[in-house]
Amino acid sequence: MNISQFHVRVFGRYQRVLADITYRRVVKMNNRIPFISFTFDDFPRSALYTGGDILFRYGLRGTYYASLGLMNTDGPTGNIFVPDDIEKLLAQGHELGCHTFAHCHSWDTKPKTFESSILKNKLILSTLVPDADLSSFSYPISVPRPSIKRIAGKYFNSCRCGGQTYNAKAVDLNYLKAFFLEKSRDDIQTIKKLIDETCLNNGWLIFATHDISKKPTPYGCLPQFFEEVVRYSQDSNARILPVGKALEEILLKTNT
Ligand SMILES: [Zn+2]
């Protein structure tokens, strides 16, 4: 490792620690059964038409974190959703979440700009789907700097990040842990072990990814891989729900 790689690594660790320990909104998890959620960042069309169809076939629903500023564009995660896709997503019972309007970097963006982008996403969505509600959020690109974590926490029931692990015992609603599937897309065993561990510890495992495609971008997965994860999750004793609904059940005093 050269000196600049060392600096990048140390700074990355500093960012993660700071994001973890500041502006926490910790609640106790009351669930007596494990939970799994499937989430997609950016809402590429393939996440709905391929990933969503796989979930739907298993009787499951996911959470799609959308930046309305990316609508109708082609991005690093593939073709992004068009307005009609929002209608289809909601009609199928999936959850629409917020990812800021402009897909703002969660560390480098000025807090005021970040906050405006959250509000703009809500506003533009309300012009497309008047009764839509965005109660779940995921941080774009990076772990949040503390001031951004504080702002996001004001507007949403939950804010999801990464961390490649599951939530257990207590959860920071401003910093839900998630596991990005594409980082282990050649290693299904790691994922199966994580599902087993989540079930053993009555945790909440939130999977995240972007596109689901036969030619996935570096940020996505193959359909057969994704389906294997869905099938293994379905065969576990976990309850599988979109983030908003899972959170409601996890926080209930008496859940099954
Ligand atoms: Zn994103």
Q: How many angstroms separate the alpha carbon of residue 159 from the centre of ligand 1?
A: 13
Question: Over the stretch 85-136, which tens digit does the pLDDT of each residue have?
Answer: 999 999 999 999 999 999 999 999 999 999 999 999 999 999 999 888 899 9
Quick check: 255 pLDDT over 70?
no
Quick check: 203 pLDDT over 80?
yes
Quick check: 178 pLDDT over 60?
yes
Range of the domain at 37: 3-251
Q: How many angstroms separate the alpha carbon of residue 19 from the centre of ligand 1?
A: 18
At 254 the pLDDT is 56
* 167 falls within a domain: yes
Q: How many angstroms separate the alpha carbon of residue 13 from the centre of ligand 1?
A: 21
Q: How many angstroms separate the alpha carbon of residue 66 from the centre of ligand 1?
A: 8
Q: How many angstroms separate the alpha carbon of residue 29 from the centre of ligand 1?
A: 27
E-assigned strand segments in 74-165: 74-75, 78-79, 95-98, 136-138, 158-163
Provide, rounded to the nearest whole percent, the portion of the chain with pLDDT above 70.
98
Quick check: 147 pLDDT over 80?
yes
Q: How many domains is the chain partitioned into structurally?
A: 1
* 149 falls within a domain: yes
Helix pair 146-155, 111-128: axis angle to 10 deg: 30
Q: How many angstroms separate the alpha carbon of residue 254 from the centre of ligand 1?
A: 35
Average pLDDT over residues 189-194: 98
Distance, CA of 2 to CA of 110 (rounded, Å):
31
Q: How many angstroms separate the alpha carbon of residue 113 from the centre of ligand 1?
A: 17
Amino acid at 248: E
Residues whose beta carbons lie less than 5 angstroms from ion ligand 1:
41-42, 140
Quick check: 256 pLDDT over 50?
no
* 164 falls within a domain: yes
Provide, rounded to the nearest whole percent, the portion of the chain with pLDDT above 90.
89
Average pLDDT over residues 208-231: 98
* 256 falls within a domain: no
Q: How many angstroms separate the alpha carbon of residue 106 from the centre of ligand 1?
A: 10
- Which CATH number goes with the domain that contains 7? 3.20.20.370
Q: How many angstroms separate the alpha carbon of residue 140 from the centre of ligand 1?
A: 4
Question: Over the stretch 41-87, which tens digit does the pLDDT of each residue have?
Answer: 999 999 999 999 999 999 999 999 999 999 999 999 999 999 999 99
Average pLDDT over residues 25-51: 96
Q: Is residue 152 very low, low, confident or very high in pLDDT (cuts 50, 70, 90)? A: very high
Quick check: 22 pLDDT over 80?
yes
Q: How many angstroms separate the alpha carbon of residue 22 from the centre of ligand 1?
A: 22
Q: What is the mean pLDDT of the chain?
A: 95
* 226 falls within a domain: yes
Give the pTM. 0.95
Quick check: 187 pLDDT over 50?
yes
Count Cβ neighbours within 10 Å for each residue of 70-95 and write b for 16 or more, e otherwise.
Answer: bbeeebebbbbbeeebbeebeeeebb
Q: How many angstroms separate the alpha carbon of residue 139 from the centre of ligand 1?
A: 7
Contact criterion met (CB below 8 Å) for 80 and 114: no
At 63 the pLDDT is 98
